[in-house]
Structure 1
């Protein structure tokens, strides 16, 4: 680990748990002044107990424009004339279900949090990032390169972030603002439990026809998700990639984290679509016939 020194200030969204929390703790240990975005005061206090006095909990809801503006003003006031060294866009949710019956409101919610919210936060903090020639790090997923059934909304949001990251990287190049995306595989984080709970809530509200057509496939996917969630790698591994993207003289544009992500992305590059479809369906244990 690098020696503790003042690396500057960084904002991390979705820092209550998982990748966001691990990144906040690790960057605090490195010596960053961390502004950790949380949605509840209790989450901020819990994180504060795990870190130094440099860390400041920041109430921030990426779906709420007023919350974003208030958070940016808070950070600006705290930094005075100093700029922001980094922004880590990590906040996100997982919306799951068969696209044939998925309520459009749920799809909007997925994109609002995982895509629009990320850009809204980036827009709000870019003036501070420009002052310090800071960096933007977006937390993506290998599902931003490989889509899977019943996670269509989540995969769409991560595919979108790949495109937006590329565009933003080129747009901000004249000011020397580096933009990277982290593409983790299966990470052991609470998002698995939260996503399964949310998916079950959506599933239970779908019409009887959806249950008749998709029950077996959804059950198989849920079982696989449970296994993956228990066998993933720790969020601290992703935090290391985040730190590299913030500190490296020439950061990577993409950080593929985890052997599973490396394999999935490699297979997506070399296999024909229908063969990749077959492998994914077999892996998930989906029934051949309804």
Structure 2
């Protein structure tokens, strides 16, 4: 099936990425679903799976060449949706620095590698858009998700620079900033917390054990309390195809509330509110 516009979505196998693929395809857009495992992409006449690990610059270039060859003469790449990402957590005092490097490699460096590889195709469109899945954690860093929050702060800064650099060519750049999203990631969050806890020394458990227990409860509640991934996907569609896209999309009431409170409240008041929300004291 031929359509005039196409998008590439990274991290498309589950959760937000899969919802994005479904939303674009439902709107008649050709989608290249970039995943590490091609078998995770459902068959659809408008969806083409593409093998891509965002931490490999070579795979990004190879994927761009495959997409270029697949587009044909009647379709142009309208959007790059950088959605792939991971979340590393735990107390920063005891964080394995290699884990911090892994967090930044996937959530920041990998996003730029994909963008660099696909930008030449995007320029051919004339109305290209780049979208990054960030988070309200890029505005407000909650305790024990320091590596993740750092990556999202960095991603926001990179997107802001890129937006201003590409403006002369009419290429837009947006970030999506949801708070809690109900995705399968929460199904294994408890196991991830267990893994972090297992690597911590006794002193870390002595200092942070109660907080880690609280985080386990919070992650369990998030499985049902978050907004549906389709809401983020709808924001992505708007960012790629709206006549006037926003620079930032605060997706959901929780994200908007957190952003407003972090802007308006003195930091001591806001810190106290965050601690009460997370730990009840």
**TM-score between the two structures when normalised by the length of structure 2:** 0.95
- Structure-to-structure mapping, 1:270-285, within 5 angstroms: 270-285=264-279
User: Contact (CA 8 Å) 2:189, 2:219: kept in 1 or not?
Assistant: no
Task: State whether structure 2 residue 69 is matched by structure 1 residue 77.
Answer: yes
Correspondence for 2:15:
18
Provide the C-alpha distance between the structure 1 equivalents of 2:34 and 2:19, rounded to a whole number of angstroms: 13
Correspondence for 2:113:
120
Task: Name the count of aligned residue pairs.
Answer: 279
Correspondence for 2:26:
29
- CA-atom RMSD, angstroms? 1.6
1:205, CA displacement in angstroms? 1.1
Q: 1:196 to 1:113 in 2, by over 3 A?
A: farther
Query: Where has structure 1 moved over 4 Å in runs of 4 or more?
Result: none
Task: State whether structure 2 residue 205 is matched by structure 1 residue 208.
Answer: no
User: Contact (CA 8 Å) 1:93, 1:195: kept in 2 or not?
Assistant: no
Per-residue CA deviations over 1:235-282 (Å, capped at 9, x if unaligned) read: 011111111111111111111111000000000000111111111111
Provide the C-alpha distance between the structure 2 equivalents of 1:199 and 1:39, rounded to a whole number of angstroms: 24
1:7, CA displacement in angstroms? 4.7
Tell me, what secondary structure is at the counterpart of 1:132? coil
1:195, CA displacement in angstroms? 4.0
**TM-score between the two structures when normalised by the length of structure 1:** 0.92
Correspondence for 2:141:
147
- Structure-to-structure mapping, 1:239-258, within 5 angstroms: 239-258=233-252
Provide the C-alpha distance between the structure 1 equivalents of 2:167 and 2:211, rounded to a whole number of angstroms: 45
Structure 2 residue corresponding to 1:102, chosen from 95, 116, 138: 95
Provide the C-alpha distance between the structure 1 equivalents of 2:187 and 2:19, rounded to a whole number of angstroms: 17
Correspondence for 2:79:
86
Q: 1:9 to 1:53 in 2, by over 3 A?
A: same
User: Contact (CA 8 Å) 2:193, 2:216: kept in 1 or not?
Assistant: no
Task: State whether structure 2 residue 184 is matched by structure 1 residue 184.
Answer: no
Per-residue CA deviations over 1:84-138 (Å, capped at 9, x if unaligned) read: 1001000011100000001001111111111111011001100001111311011
Structure 2 residue corresponding to 1:217, chosen from 187, 195, 211: 211
Q: 1:258 to 1:7 in 2, by over 3 A?
A: farther
Task: State whether structure 2 residue 230 is matched by structure 1 residue 233.
Answer: no
Tell me, what secondary structure is at the counterpart of 2:23? helix
Provide the C-alpha distance between the structure 2 equivalents of 1:104 and 1:241, rounded to a whole number of angstroms: 34
User: Contact (CA 8 Å) 1:138, 1:180: kept in 2 or not?
Assistant: yes
Provide the C-alpha distance between the structure 2 equivalents of 1:243 and 1:8, rounded to a whole number of angstroms: 12
Q: 1:93 to 1:183 in 2, by over 3 A?
A: same
Name structure 1 gaps, 5 residues minimum: none
Q: 1:239 to 1:136 in 2, by over 3 A?
A: same
Provide the C-alpha distance between the structure 1 equivalents of 2:149 and 2:4, rounded to a whole number of angstroms: 34
Correspondence for 1:164:
158
1:203, CA displacement in angstroms? 2.1
1:286, CA displacement in angstroms? 5.9
Provide the C-alpha distance between the structure 2 equivalents of 1:179 and 1:31, rounded to a whole number of angstroms: 22
